[in-house]
Homo-oligomer: A and B are copies of this chain.
Amino acid sequence: MRITRRGLLLVLSSPSGAGKTTLARRLLDAEPGIHMSVSVTTRKPRPGEVEGVDYFFVDKREFERLKARRKLLEWAEVFGQLYATPKTPVVDALQSGNDVLFDVDWQGARQIKKRLPRDVVRVFILPPDGKTLERRLRARNQDSEAAVVHRMAKAAAEIEHWDEYDYVVVNVDVEKCLAELRSILAAERLKRERQSGLAGFVGEMLDDL
């Protein structure tokens, strides 16, 4: 017995240094029913990157064409390069009952929520405390104090949007935090409104009574 359901979009945001990348990878490994969204980008492929796996690589003209035709769910410019989430694969996944994982900042989360409000589940991942976050950001940037200050300001700017999310988890322990993300995913899959096959399932049951 398997009840048909609509997929969901699990959006993870956090300041860098909160462990989001590790958590996303662990979640994908643990949950075969959810896949990472593959972005479109105008930047050049790096050695080893595979078209359609790491990114869909397009030129600027093609990117603008996708945007104009409303084929992009969200988009952003980072260091002069354009990045976006193509809409078609996401809509296909939703309709076939597959879940999609997004690793985006608060602006991306807001855009996706606006376009597909009922399908989005937004989770914000917080670091245990400010000191820990600073230590992690310093460990990454051994180049200059200015770079660290910039990263800290960027992290703070991201954290300030914590209250636009449905769930908030604090990453003190990666195993505990992973278990929490898995609970959120499991619970959201059981939401009545997502289980599109329930009406038929209950109808058959009532016919048998």
Contact = CB atoms under 8 A, between A and B. Distances in A.
A69 to B, nearest CB: 35
A64 to B, nearest CB: 36
A163 B165 CA distance: 26
A68 interface: no
B207 A192 contact: no
Interface in A183-197: 183-184, 186-188, 190-192, 195
Contacts of A129: 1, 204-205, 208
A131 B156 CA distance: 57
A191 B167 contact: yes
A91 interface: no
Nearest to A123: B190
Contacts of A207: 130
A3 interface: yes
A209 B156 contact: yes
A133 interface: yes
Contacts of A124: 192
Interface of A: 1, 3, 124, 126-131, 133-134, 152-153, 155-156, 159-160, 162-163, 165-170, 172, 179-180, 182-184, 186-188, 190-192, 195, 198-199, 201-202, 204-209
